[in-house]
Amino acid sequence: MPETLLRADDLTVRYGPVTALNGISLHVDEGEVVALVGANGAGKSTLLKTLSGLIRPAGGSITFQGKDLARTAAHDIVKSGLVHVPEGRHVFPRFTLKENLLAGAFTNDFKSAGKRAEEIIAGTPILARRAGSTAGQLSGGEQQMLVIQRALMADPRMIMLDEPSMGLSPVLADEVLELVAQLSERGMTVLLVEQNALGALDIADRVYALATGEVLFEGRSDDLRANPQFADQFLGVV
Ligand code: ATP
């Protein structure tokens, strides 16, 4: 049996009078790709921010490798091996690609990080051909690749990606999902929020479908595809 890396139980999050998460429970096992799908406002981003320590839950518990996260500082959560790539491709626009990557290595030894950053750029064709650019000069797809690679500079055990294909052309969106699939093949554990639910299901082992802060469906990707009610609601297909 694979080890459960991340577990959240009965999480509740409120923004003033708005209940954004209403008793959410989920788990992610070592080596899995788990997709989180749901309409705008369902609570997906709030869930990732809560798991990474940016928002404190009003109730419930979170553990990562058995350690309590609900009261752990966000930078210590990164150090423990859980890294969050937020929505919106936040690069440092005036910095080079290498400098952007180094910003992700704040938990590590900087000497080896420089070499590692150069290897990542050389080994990622979409970045290698822009190696002399600043991050602000990159296209949206290139920036997305950069922020995912920056997250990997922290040597995480698990990565959480919020809408990595948002706003990209279908070809670039496929490239981003392909990168996620490659990370998984190399053993990375992934929690993936995607507006492109069908694309996410293609690479996910399991899926949680959220609506108004609650989990409505939990199961294998194939089971969501085969469920007439939820496939219609969450995938737009019957
Ligand atoms: P999207 O795909 O649009 O990002 P989402 O599923 O990620 O949607 P959240 O952004 O987590 O959903 O929002 C969940 C609920 O919390 C929504 O009702 C939203 O309006 C509300 N909400 C989110 N952020 C805030 C905030 N900073 N203050 C108040 N309400 C918020």
State the Cα–Cα distance between residues 54 and 49, nearest whole angstrom: 5
pLDDT digits (tens, 9 = 90+) for 178-196: 999 999 999 999 999 998 8
pLDDT digits (tens, 9 = 90+) for 28-77: 999 999 999 998 899 999 999 999 999 999 999 999 999 998 889 999 99
Residue 203 has pLDDT above 90, yes or no: yes
Within 186-227, residue ranges assigned H as helices are 197-203, 221-226
Nearest CA to ligand 1 atom 18: 41
Torsion angle, alpha carbons of 39, 43, 45, 49, to 10: -170
State both tokens at 2. 């694979």
CA 21 to chain CA centroid, nearest Å: 18
Grouping H, G, I as helix, E, B as strand and the rest as coil, residue 232 is helix
State both tokens at 81. 């091996």
Strand order in the sheet with 18-29: 18-29, 4-15, 59-64, 67-68
Nearest CA to ligand 1 atom 17: 41
Q: How many CB atoms lie within 10 A of CB 238?
A: 7
Q: How many CB atoms lie within 10 A of CB 166?
A: 17
Distance of CA 20 from the midpoint of ligand 1 (Å): 7
Distance of CA 45 from the midpoint of ligand 1 (Å): 7
The atom of ligand 1 lying closest to the CA of 210 is: 6
Q: How much is the ipTM here?
A: 0.94
pLDDT digits (tens, 9 = 90+) for 89-106: 899 999 999 999 998 887
Encode 50-111 in three state secondary structure. HHCCCCCCCEEEEEECCEECCCCCHHHHHHCCEEEECCCCCCCCCCEHHHHHHHCCCCCCHH
Distance of CA 128 from the midpoint of ligand 1 (Å): 36
Residue 237 has pLDDT above 60, yes or no: no
pLDDT digits (tens, 9 = 90+) for 157-171: 999 999 998 888 888
Distance of CA 41 from the midpoint of ligand 1 (Å): 5
- Ligand 1 neighbours, Cβ below 6 Å, are 15, 18, 20, 38, 40-46
pLDDT band at 238 (very low <50, low <70, confident <90, very high): very low
Residue 110 has pLDDT above 70, yes or no: no
72 Cβ neighbours under 8 A, 6+ residues apart:
53, 80
140-152 vs 170-185: helix crossing angle, rounded to 10 = 20
State the Cα–Cα distance between residues 129 and 124, nearest whole angstrom: 9
Angle at 215 between CA 209 and CA 217, to 5 degrees: 50
CA 14 to chain CA centroid, nearest Å: 22
Contact 138, 169 (CB under 8 A): no
Grouping H, G, I as helix, E, B as strand and the rest as coil, residue 204 is coil
Average pLDDT, the chain: 91
In this predicted structure, what is the pLDDT of residue 195? 81
